[in-house]
Amino acid sequence: MRTAQTQIDAFHAMPGRQLSAQKQMIVDLFDGYPPTLTLTRQDIVDRTNMRMASVCGRVRELLDAEILAVRGKRECLETGVMVETVGLPAAEVR
């Protein structure tokens, strides 16, 4: 088991700290993929069919809990604006 998964499992095991269904859906996007996978918030919207406002709120909570981390930026294909990408914490990616 990779360290990132251990960290996620430890977070889930904390008393009273279960992830909501939406947060779990976002975390599950990274399961089964290389730990270098990064997604924009729009990528998450496209893959989960959640509303953008919900994705932004849940991603912020996952970032605050250090389950996800900002891993860079890339240009949005629709707007040309640079947007953040998130993924498993960089210290866990080796």
Return the CATH number at 41. 1.10.10.10
Cβ within 8 Å of residue 25, ≥6 positions away:
48, 50
| Helices marked H in the chain | 3-13, 21-28, 41-48, 52-64
* % of the chain with per-residue pLDDT over 90: 61
**DSSP letter at 65?**
T
Name which of 42, 38, 48, 39 is nearest 78 in CA terms.
42
Query: Pick the residue with more confidence: 93 or 20?
Result: 20
Q: Is there a contact between 35 and 2 (Cβ–Cβ < 8 Å)?
A: yes
| Domain count along the chain | 1
Separation between Cα atoms, residue 83 and residue 62, nearest integer Å: 17
pLDDT of residue 93: 47
pLDDT of residue 1: 45
> For 42-55, what is the mean pLDDT?
95
Q: Which pair of structure tokens corresponds to residue 11?
A: 């977070």
Q: Is there a contact between 30 and 87 (Cβ–Cβ < 8 Å)?
A: yes
> For 65-86, what is the mean pLDDT?
92
Give the structural domain span for 19: 3-92
Residue 19 has pLDDT above 90, yes or no: no
> For 25-36, what is the mean pLDDT?
90
> For 47-65, what is the mean pLDDT?
95
